[in-house]
Amino acid sequence: MVDEERNVDTSKVEETASRMSESKKDEILSNFEEFKSYLHGKVQIGEKMGMSEETLAKTAEKVADYLANHEEPRNSEENLLKELWKVGEQEERHKLAHMLVKLVK
């Protein structure tokens, strides 16, 4: 997702997520607090790399899209997020991605 010049390529989110082992996905997604903790770590890394709030949100949007299309929710919080994602328009999804980034900071 990040090249040698530290540019972020959000088109690689799906490829990166699909390479993650099932046991690692289960570890992260089975508990919402664990999910938030995992995202917090990724947001911190992005901030240290100098990613803007907008870039973080665009990346979160790609991750949320991947999860909504490829993973079943493992708890009620993830189920709510998936339902909101499914009914939201593009602009609403983008705002939700911003809120997710704020939530895990």
What are the sequence ranges of the domains in the chain? 10-104
Give the architecture (CATH level 2) of 10-104.
Orthogonal Bundle (1.10)
The pLDDT of residue 4 is above 60 = no
- What is the spatial distance between Cα 57 and Cα 49, in angstroms, rounded to a whole number? 15
Beta bridge partners of 2: 8
What distance in Å separates the CA atoms of residue 49 and residue 73, rounded to the nearest whole number? 30
Instruction: Give the model confidence (pLDDT) of 70-89 as tens digits.
Output: 999 999 999 999 999 999 99
Q: What is the pLDDT of residues 20-74, one digit of tens each?
A: 999 999 999 999 999 999 999 999 999 998 999 999 999 999 999 999 999 999 9
